[in-house]
Amino acid sequence: MNRQVSPRYLTTVALACGCLLVALIAGLPLLALLVSPLVALSLIGPALHRWPDLEIGLEVPERVVEGDEIMLVVTAGSRVGAPWVMLDLDLPPDLEAIQGTSRTIVTIEPGQLIRVRIPVLAKRWGVSVPGRITVTARDGFGFFSTSLVHRPRTAIRVHPRDGARRTVLAPSRLRPRAGNHRSRVLGDGSDFAEVRPYRTGDPQRTINWRVSARRGEPWVTVRHPDRSGDLVLVLDSFRDIGPLGDRLVQRAVRAALGLAESNLGQYDRVGLLDVGRSIRWYRPRLGRLHEARLLDALLDTQVEPGLRAPDVSQLPLHDLDSGALIVFISGLIDVDAARLPVELRSRGHEVAVLECSPDAHLRVEGRTAELAARLWRIERSAQRRRLTEHGVAVVEWKPDDPLEIPVAALNRRPVAFR
């Protein structure tokens, strides 16, 4: 907290003293009478002033979605009060003040706690932290000022706007745990499978009395049990292209967020492996705490250029069960990163690639650029064919398509990839 005397007070005192000195030397009592208000202000201002003890805070909403108008609440209070207080909230680039400014002027009464609401627009998803709150308080005459810089620690987590909670990716190998995926085996469940003659050992609750009465012998109803599986999302953050707000890694994070939220809602265990700036590994688990941990990790995803893809032996997948489905979410623009799905497949894992198509970000101007773009597309097509030959299912996700389309295509992947 910085306390100082303003130049206005020094100017007032200097002007009053100078005029009084001139009036005394020149013998001008009228001039002294005219300067008497300045003298009174110079004496009354310091006598009435009390330095305010400012307390500043910031309140942010818990869940924010990209494109929403949110309200940031700045709280300010003082035991002695302050007649003139300016609050200036420094916003990060991802947040924009709706009213054009995040600066406001208020009055704080003694012992009062005020709440200043600042409407802002969440332009892009991610983790945003307001830089600082600069507070400047002055007395009624403007003679004394108290400045304070408050750096809030509260992070604003902006989630992508995507209706991806319905995009459930079904693993091929299900675990003997309760879930919402229909198992191909027969047993106790809710989905009808068939009706067959009674066998020794069948529980009596499975007897279909209508069919048994019609056939004259006991028949039972067999169902498909509901099971859950393991899903591991591998996020490729080696390279990134595209304009701000629609970059490849941002689209990959959108897909990972949608799949993580939807599959965790179906009681699947979901893990995350972020390979890029650093290797971050979150083992497949359940629960809201694990979901919050995954969301925070995805929102904090960053890209640092100049890195090379690590070898599969460096990835912490040695303790992963063989029945897990690994979804590699990538734009496939890095050659080293494109080898990872093949190497993971060679380890016996079921691997699928959700390719975030970068074609929309190509700028083709001129004959040479057109030939280069054509050659680049041919190489990418050959790359997809190599992945398919190694048993890796590849589905392209175009920018204008909802996430449900590529996920539905992955759910229809041939048995050969499973």
54-159: what CATH class? mainly beta
The predicted pLDDT at position 164 comes to: 44
For residue 138, pLDDT over 70 is answered with yes
Does the pTM surpass 0.85? The reply is no
What Rg, from alpha-carbon coordinates, does the chain have? 34
Mean pLDDT of the chain: 79
pLDDT more than 70, % of the chain: 82
The predicted pLDDT at position 29 comes to: 80
The predicted pLDDT at position 344 comes to: 82
For residue 142, pLDDT over 60 is answered with yes
Mean of pLDDT values over 190-205 = 74
The predicted pLDDT at position 211 comes to: 81
Assign domain 228-417 one CATH number from 2.60.40, 1.10.3470, 3.40.50, 1.10.760: 3.40.50
d(CA 176, CA 95): 46
Exposure string of 144-159, with b = 16+ CB inside 10 Å and e = fewer, is bbbebebebeeebbbb
Residue with the larger pLDDT of the pair 262 and 364: 262
Residue spans of the domains in the chain: they are 2-48, 54-159, 189-224, 228-417
Q: What is the DSSP letter of 42?
A: H
The predicted pLDDT at position 161 comes to: 67
Lookup: tokens for 260: 């993580």
Mean of pLDDT values over 55-69 = 83
Per-residue pLDDT band at 243 (split at 50, 70, 90): low
Strand order in the sheet with 126-128: 64-65, 156-159, 126-128
Mean of pLDDT values over 230-250 = 75
For residue 165, pLDDT over 60 is answered with no
Range in 98-102, 118-122, 303-307 the model is least confident about: 303-307
The predicted pLDDT at position 242 comes to: 63
Q: Which of 133, 29, 153 is nearest to 74 (CA)?
A: 133
Per-residue pLDDT band at 173 (split at 50, 70, 90): low
